[in-house]
Each structure stands twice: as structure tokens, then as C-alpha cells.
Amino acid sequence: MRSQVRHLIRFAYARGTAPDELGDYEDVLAELYEGDKNR
């Protein structure tokens, strides 16, 4: 999951379609990872 999300975010940045308010995507990935662990 984490590698897929990282790939999608990098792809979005490469295309210039990532939202500006995303900020540091590593923080976003960390939050997603923590959310997955809690399930």
C-alpha cells in the first residue's frame, strides 16, 4: 500500500497534478501507514 501511494504521489508531481496543499508527502504517507496499522 505504502509503495503504491508513494508511486501515485510521485506520478502526480511529475505530471504537475498533485495538489499544492499536499505539503510533505512523506508525512501524508506516514499518516496513511499509521491508519493502516490501526485496522
Is the pLDDT at 28 greater than 60, yes or no?
A: yes
Say how many domains are in the chain: 1
Angle at 6 between CA 27 and CA 23, to 5 degrees: 35
Tens digits of per-residue pLDDT, 6-26?
788 778 777 876 666 666 777
Judge whether residue 36 has pLDDT over 60: yes
pTM of the predicted model over 0.75: no
Provide the domain limits for residue 8. 2-37
- More confident position, 4 or 21: 4
Over its C-alpha atoms, the chain yields an Rg (Å, rounded) of 11
What integer pLDDT is reported at residue 19 of this predicted model? 66
What stretch of H or E contains 23?
none
